[in-house]
Amino acid sequence: MRRWRGRHIRTGWLVLALAIVLPLLVQDPFLHRLLAVAALEAVLTVSLNLVLGYGGLISLGHAGFYGIGAYVAALLALHLDAPFVLTLPAAALVAAATGWLFARPILHLRGHYFAMATLALGEILVLVAYNWDSVTRGPSGLPGIPRPELFGWTATTHRDNYYLALALLVLAVTVVRRFVDSPLGLSLIATRGDDQAAASVGTDVARVRTIAFALAAFFAGAAGALYAHYITFVSVEPFQLTHTIALLAMVAVGGIATIPGPIVGALLLTLLPELLRGLADLRMVLYGVLLMLVIWLRPQGLLGSGALLARGPRRRAEPAAIHRPAGAVGSSEERSAQPSPREETGA
């Protein structure tokens, strides 16, 4: 196990070095823009995977926290002239607080009921952004957001913003990795398999899941804040349900309950449509076909182990696989249904 982890750590450092060097070697602003968008999407998928992959909770409102971060950062920068070093953490904290407050009353819901509750949250946030004209300017959006600035340095190019997004991604991966390896993270994984069994051994299921939900919202809000300063304009479109569904597809393609999987999924599904752009009308058809092939041939994701898929069928098959010795009866109902020796002899 130690050798396996060491090999993956070395691979991670090599990938990070490549991510740093590549924009310096390839002087293409269009590629830099794609990489910046992919890095922001990767922050969202890594944070979503914390809830979905490790917690087993389907969140359909994750893009809503992205929107909260973007709007909070934009409003602070435009109306209070707050610098980027304050708007980003403030936006992340507001998103985390929203996630915490929302998670507490709905964590008793299970399965698709929880998913529907998060869907409702996302739709409520979109409606608020559309209709609160005095604050968000509705469909017109908020223009004129200043570029990210750190200690006198301003990120004016796509490459500059890519490096900021990459730094945020590294922070998100580090925090999520440490959380997953911590006692809280192990408790979260235990609730994914059977929350009632986890509660029976002393796990505070609601507390663990609320912390994970708030942490995921924190990084989604941070990504939204960086997005607002990068694009210098905020509108409602990127924060709707369609974006959350795209994030779910990225996590599924890359590999649920893995750290590198959501990053690979975000990179692949961000770059692939652009690589197929020359095929005109066939572009989205081929994109859909390739996506279906990946899901069909690798249902556990490109980097997934398949353990999560194997667990369900195996548990369902266990009752049929029980072998009883001759004459053994498994339940009290079966024992009561069998005639006694006295009844068989007619005594």
**pLDDT tens profile 121-149:** 999 999 999 999 999 999 999 999 999 99
> Within 10 A of 95 (CB to CB), how many other CB atoms are there?
30
Per-residue pLDDT band at 275 (split at 50, 70, 90): confident
pTM of the model: 0.85
Identify which has the larger pLDDT, 327 or 300: 300
3-state secondary structure of 259: coil
Average pLDDT over residues 251-262: 93
Query: How far is Cα 84 from Cα 88, in angstroms, rounded to an integer?
Result: 6
pLDDT of residue 280: 65
Q: Tell me: pLDDT of 332 over 90.
A: no
Give CA–CA dist 171/100, Å, rounded. 21
H/E stretch holding 15: helix 2-25
CA 177 vs CA 47, 173, 184: distances in Å = 11, 6, 12
Phi, psi of 155 (to 5 degrees): -85, 95
Instruction: Indicate whether 295 pLDDT > 70.
Output: yes
Cα–Cα dist 320/299, whole Å? 25
For residue 178, give Cα distances in angstroms to 44, 131, 211: 17, 40, 14
Query: Could you tell me the pLDDT band of residue 322, with boundaries at 50, 70 and 90?
Result: very low
8 Å CB contact between 52 and 213: no
Cα–Cα distance between 107 and 117 in angstroms, integer? 10
Say if residue 278's pLDDT is above 80. no
| Residue 101: pLDDT over 50 | yes
Evaluate if residue 325 carries a pLDDT over 70: no
Mean pLDDT confidence for 87-114: 93
Longest dimension (CA), the chain: 101
